[in-house]
Structures are given as C-alpha cells and as structure tokens.
Structure 1
Amino acid sequence: MKKLKIILLLLIAWFLIHELFIISDGLLSQPTQSDYAVVFGNRVNPDGSLSERLEARMHKALELYNDSLVAKIFVSGGLGKEGHYEAQKMAEYLLAHQVLASDIVIDDQGNNTWLSAQNFKNSYSDSTSVVLVSQYFHISRCKLSFRKLGFTRISAVSPNYFEWRDFYALFREFFGYYKYWLLY
C-alpha cells in the first residue's frame, strides 16, 4: 500500500511539474525574426466568423507581420464541424487586415498539430526559422512537433487571451504532449 501511495504521489508531482512547464513555456515564449509565422487553426463559428480564441491568434500573427518579424504567414486548419475550412477563414481575416495575398499560405489539411507541422515541412523544408502562434497551453506541443521534423530555429508566441476552457485544455495537453513525444 505504501509503494502505491509513493507511486501515486510521484505521478501527481510529475503531472504538476509538467503543467508548470507547459504554462511557463507558453506564457514566456517570445517571437524572434523568422521566415514564417505558423498559425494553428481553431474553431470557426457557424456564421463563418472566427471564434474569439482564433481571432486572438490572428491578431498576434498580424502584429508579427506588421512589426516585420515575419515575411509570410502560414495558416493551418482543416474543415471544422461547423462547415468552414479554418485556414480559409483565417486567410480571409488576414486579407481584410491588409496582409498581401502573396504573403499568406493556406493549409486546409492541417487537421491537427502534427499534420500542420508536417504540411509546413513538406512545403517549406528549406525554411530556417518559424514563429509558432497558438494558445499558451499548446505552445510546447507545437514546438515538439517542429523539433521532431528537424526545425532548430523555433520561437513562439501566444495571444493574451484566457478563458475557463483553459483548465481543461491544460489537463489535455499533458497527455497530448506525451502522445506526440511517443508516437511521432
């Protein structure tokens, strides 16, 4: 019984330490001058507007672009259950905010973090640097995906957008990180 208790306490400690790592990695990450910003998709509302979470990501990508930290923006997201391609709607948002069409790359097949990273690698394997744009709790898994594909100059940034759903997302990211670490 005592061994089981020790194992349980170690597992809880591991979980809590990793959660602190995820939070600090996401909140403290700073963008560096890069070839591309890679923006990971998220929910598009049934009316075709971006969810607040996704709009916050797009606003952060616009900041990078307008501050000349990135030359191009790679938007990645598949067909959502609401019936819209996330990447298409993200591109529309950028176009409406004066980003040149030639500076936007659309990946409609990025149905998850790994596929987004793979699709970027398949198209831009010669790229030397990327800034990953997602919510703070997702940054560590995004970085892991790009590292596994051979990218070495990776920075990241997250928008200042927080919601109650983040508690669930943080819990899920612990398992998502190790799934990606083991399977890909």
Structure 2
Amino acid sequence: MLSNTWHPPPPGWIKINVDAALKCNNMAGVGGVVRDEKGRFLLAFGAYFVHWDISQLKLMAIFFLKDIVKDWMFDYQGLMIEGDNSNIIKALQIEWKKRKNKDIIDGRLAFLNDFKQVLFSLCSRNCNKLADICANLGVYNSFNWVDLWDKDNPPSFLSCMKEECDALRLL
C-alpha cells in the first residue's frame, strides 16, 4: 500500500519526484522537484510540450531529467526517481535491471549511468503534489528554480512544500 505523504530518500541520496500535466488542447508540461534526505529543496523544474498521451508525457518527464542534472548530484550515494504512474515505473525498473545484466538499455536513460545507484520508485498522487504543481506550471512556461525563495516561486508551491515538511517534521 502506498503512503499518503512524501518521504525523503535514504541518507546520502537525493530524490527527484516527476510528473506530467496534459490539457484538453494538447498543451502539456513536465515537472519535478529534487530534494535531499532531510527534505531540503535543491531544485525544481518545469518544461512545456505539445502532446496527447499522458503516459508518454510521464515517461518524457523522466527522460527530461538529463536536461536538469547538475554535476553536484553525482556526489550523492544514489538517485531515487519517483513518479505516480505504476506502468511507467515498472517498465523503468525492468529496463534498469536489464542494464545491470548488460542487455540493451534505452539510450534516453544513458545519462543515469553516471550515478552510483539509481532506483525508480512508485508513489501515490498525494506524495507527488509538488511535482504536479511544477508540471502544471510547465504547461505555460518553462522554468528551472534553484532558490526556494526566488520571487518567481508561486505561493502554492511554497505552501505545499511547507505542508509536506511539516507532516514529516523536517523544518
């Protein structure tokens, strides 16, 4: 059974929650949030796309990570990528396991080879609220936030982040 609140990654790891949003006019966005073991904000992103398939968009959100990965992320013990689509997460888990067996891996995931460890994790929609906010904002404007207190960060994002941290007593 999936949890109803966001949980931090293991000590020494970072977690990236990803999501996608699709509007009826095919305007779409992908987005995500990077946090550490203490729930501290490290980065948030959103990007605009035109598409028609929400499952493909959720997969594109993971492929898009190659565009936001920073050198400092490789210093962590591992990377947990979390999303709320069970079919996508399961497929990625299988694909990643093939990589360990030296089978062919989707080239769009090759950027993950530079991490010490990678884990794909399924979460409930309630645990993915911040990524959902980023994906919906990405529908209208691409962004990359590295400062939580930037004036461009919407109050809904900050409020949701505070709510999640308060629930885990992280702040």
TM-score bracket, shorter-length normalisation: 0.3 to 0.5
**Could you say which structure has the larger radius of gyration?**
1
Q: Which TM-score applies when normalising by structure 2?
A: 0.33
Structure 1 or 2: more strand by fraction: 2
Q: Which TM-score applies when normalising by structure 1?
A: 0.31
Structure 1 or 2: more helix by fraction: 1
Tell me: higher relative CO, structure 1 or 2? Use CA pairs within 8 A at least 6 residues apart. 2
